[in-house]
Structure 1
């Protein structure tokens, strides 16, 4: 699985450097923004898995960035942890009501921040953290890289394994070919969208080899979904 991508939005250079170093040491990919406008641009371009967002930013405040991200069609599901020197309960409530999923007051423990990042990612990218994912009779164990259906072991190639993990993480949601390309093949690699269809076909065949219906749904003009 590709490493989760963290969008780090912090205008103070030393704080940004410390956080970036520690996040990368934990195996995360990090993209950095120094102000609110850059944060909104990178949230769209880099499609991060989580955003660490400072409240006090130049140009566009962190609170406004949070509001826009949570109201955007492509970014509304993005987990946001707000970082702020504002410690009053009213400020924390304001941040959470704007859409932040968590709120940490500066100065904070980096170890605790990493723990909270992992907690949020367990909801949205569990496979990337080595968790087990289940849908009906399909089980994917990301730690041991094993897949089974109705008790039968299923052998999958690396690409099909990553595809299945993506679908299990987004059960019921339609994923476009472009989204699957970004998540499975990576944002910096050019692959024709038709390649997605080929690997979806292989995944379907593997999952149905011991019987059972097709768990993948083709949504014309939109992409694919599990369930």
Structure 2
């Protein structure tokens, strides 16, 4: 498994008359991702120059089995200057959280293999991942569902469909 599934990275260029050109890369090698993450960590520990401060970005793990939702989350994370990695199932999310130690996890609570509660439980039981804040992201909007997610260990709860401003505020609050 030399390649790691990653959300497409899209770079947008806006021209003065409103035209938008986009370039998209859909795959990133596991080795390249490790290199980029280690470079980010090295920058954080080596110096406090203004240029390096601008390069430091929190790492967010976005987990959703729906590609459209992952694309939306990826675009928002890029706009708010966060690095991101993605997973489309619970088992991969647990492994990626252990391997990459993200600053935040945005977790869909209805995944094909493990439900979100089980993912949260596994992450909270592991000393390496127990302190990573987790935001439950789900279409389950009942108050009892929200309370169940918070009791399981999620720091916050976001309902689908997203209200972008609320999602951004929640991400910033959790990373703050």
Report the TM range for the smaller structure's normalisation: 0.5 to 0.7
State the SS of the aligned residue for 1:8. strand
TM-score by length of 1: 0.53
2:96 is matched with which residue: 28, 33, 42? 42
Question: 1:1-227 residue pairs with structure 2 within 5 A?
Answer: 1=53, 2-122=56-176
Whichever of the two has the greater Rg, that structure is 1
User: What CA RMSD, in Å, does the superposition of the two structures yield over aligned residues?
Assistant: 0.9
From the two aligned structures, give the one with the greater strand fraction.
Answer: 2
After superposition, give the CA deviation of every residue in 1:76-102 in whole Å (9 maximum; x if it has no partner).
110000011111111111000000000
Residue deviations 1:131-173 (CA, integer Å, cap 9, x gap): xxxxxxxxxxxxxxxxxxxxxxxxxxxxxxxxxxxxxxxxxxx
Structure 1 segments (4+ residues) deviating >6 Å: none
Deviation at 1:107, TM superposition (A): 1.2
- 1:160-219, Cα deviation, whole Å (9 max, x unpaired): xxxxxxxxxxxxxxxxxxxxxxxxxxxxxxxxxxxxxxxxxxxxxxxxxxxxxxxxxxxx
| SS of the residue 1:82 aligns to | strand
